[in-house]
Amino acid sequence: MNPASLDIMSYITEENIRFWLEKFRSLGPLPGILLTFMKSFVPPLPTLLIVGVNGAVYGLWAGFLYSWIGMVLGCTVTFLIVREIGKSAFVERWANKPRVQRSMVWIRRNAFSYVFLLSIFPVGPFVIINVAAGIARMRLMSFLLAVSFGKAIMIFCVTYIGSNVAQFMEHPVRWGGVLLFIAVSLWASRKLERHFTRSSSNREEMNDLNHSSGKSISS
């Protein structure tokens, strides 16, 4: 990392982020949304810090909503850009390498779980997740569902803590509510994943059946 990058990152502190969010509070939710949107394009931005400060400045529910909108939009834009660039000859040659192909096959088979589970973690390779899903040509709706649910769990937990830091220190039992929310969200997302996967499998089976029928008729 060059000295200029270090200077920029050293400026990103809780006090400075809070100052700028308060300064542009008249713009409504835009500063909070833009801050988390930039996370997908500036990987070094500290997720825990910016989401937590959003919660402290805007409150629990508004902070959660603004962070969630910004982060999901950022991930989706990155995914769409990579998926479009992935059609180029250079990227296709790289993607056709045996080692890359093995990774892509795994991602295609486990795309929803791959994006969803890695999106839950507040610290992780967010940009790499979006890039891998884009190169693997993951379906847009599947990506949106996975990243939306995964980020919702992560952002709510961080926002909840960020907007109630003092109370968490005084009443550690509040962690139980966060854990319960994660468990219920995981159960609901797995139900949705099974439904989505079953629908996709049925469509593929119908396509294969139609293709086979077409061949029989033509012969």
What sign does the CA torsion over 79, 84, 87, 89 have?
negative
Neighbours of 61 (CB within 10 A): 13
Overall number of domains in the chain: 1
pLDDT for position 157: 84
Distance CA(81)–CA(71), nearest Å, equals: 15
Question: Token pair for residue 18?
Answer: 């809070």
pLDDT for position 201: 53
- Structural domain boundaries enclosing 50: 3-218
Calculate what percentage of the chain has a pLDDT beyond 90. Answer: 16
Question: How does pLDDT run across 137-150, given as a tens digit for each residue?
Answer: 888 998 999 999 99
Distance CA(123)–CA(132), nearest Å, equals: 17
pLDDT for position 37: 94
- The low-confidence residues of the chain, meaning pLDDT below 70, are 1-11, 91, 94-95, 99-104, 106, 124-125, 165-169, 171-172, 174-175, 177-178, 181-182, 185-186, 188-219
